[in-house]
Amino acid sequence: MDGIIPVYKERGMTSTDCVFKCRKIFKMRRIGHSGTLDPNVDGVLPICVGKATKVVNYLMDSGKIYIGEITLGFSTTTEDLDGEIVDKRLLDEPFTSEEINDKMDELTGDLIQIPPMYSAIKVKGRRLYDYARSGDSVERPERNVHIEYFKQTNKTVFDSKSGYQKIYFEVGCGKGTYIRTLAVDLGRKLGVPAVMSDLSRLSSGGFTIGQAVKISELEQAAKSGNLEERLYPVDYALQKYFHIELNEKQWEIIRNGGFLFPDEVNGTAEKIVLMYQNRARCIYRYNEEKKRYQPEQMIDLT
């Protein structure tokens, strides 16, 4: 079986847990996910099965949408509620919605983020969370991210007894964005410590939460013998690219790793998806210097 399944990752599970369970359900090892979700975050996690694993990076290039909650007044080691409190500064009065909106607007567009120490990014061969747990210091690499929008979804709530203020938000962003870090940066813009106190992913890889299926539903589909019906075609990850249906002669050229010229495919796009018999076979990229399309990613040459 080959295809993509938008799994609903429940809280308490890791993304690796989802892959492990899917391998048992599909009885295949060639399975991978496209974009990690922390254990305390739920939502859409696209899982690629079989030959679809070759398009994981293209799924990750698609935008993501999250909803969640930010708490102003304290910060933690992990930038979410799993960590230990490292700073606390209670609020005497709340920020207005207008003040919050202004600072959210400043955190849109192309930004540079420094990922949290408790993250899976590798530096010198070790995960950042390994450095954090062992108490070792290391310089964290900067990351270029894109925030399409960052807005409030409900009226902000201030608790005068605790001195905390909650902000309810939605964010649309590109790959590599840490929403935990975005929450902390918003607090920094407002001049107070902050933490991401709740998060759900509504959309990823072109899939929405309404399309996502639970692991338990996949297990039932396997028992019923209709598991394959749950899979979306590999081409679902490539919808934004220009598609070309190959004739038999062109298909033979492509199967041998050959090149195509723009006039052969009437193509002007930087990347094209080459189809044969209604299946995505490969992705070709235009080489400006050589004026031809050449292989970028082979998917299915059978």
Structure tokens at 292: 């031809």
Q: Which residues are catalytic?
A: 38
How many Å apart are CA 5 and CA 24, to the nearest integer? Answer: 15
Give strand pairing partners of 217.
none
Helix axes 15-26, 215-224, angle to 10 degrees: 0
Tell me phi and psi for residue 50, to 5 degrees.
65, -130
Are 157 and 96 in contact by the 8 Å Cβ rule? The answer is no
Q: What is the three-class DSSP state of 186?
A: helix
CA dihedral 272, 276, 282, 286 (to 10 degrees): -30
How many Å apart are CA 232 and CA 5, to the nearest integer? Answer: 6
How many Å apart are CA 78 and CA 132, to the nearest integer? Answer: 10
Q: What is the three-class DSSP state of 195?
A: strand
Task: Please list, in sequence order, all residues whose beta carbon lies within 8 angstroms of the beta carbon of residue 258, skipping any fewer than 6 positions away.
Answer: none
Are 149 and 166 in contact by the 8 Å Cβ rule? The answer is no
Are 60 and 145 in contact by the 8 Å Cβ rule? The answer is no
Task: Please list, in sequence order, all residues whose beta carbon lies within 8 angstroms of the beta carbon of residue 79, skipping any fewer than 6 positions away.
Answer: 116, 118, 178, 180, 181, 183, 184, 195, 196
How many Å apart are CA 275 and CA 189, to the nearest integer? Answer: 48
Structure tokens at 181: 């870090």
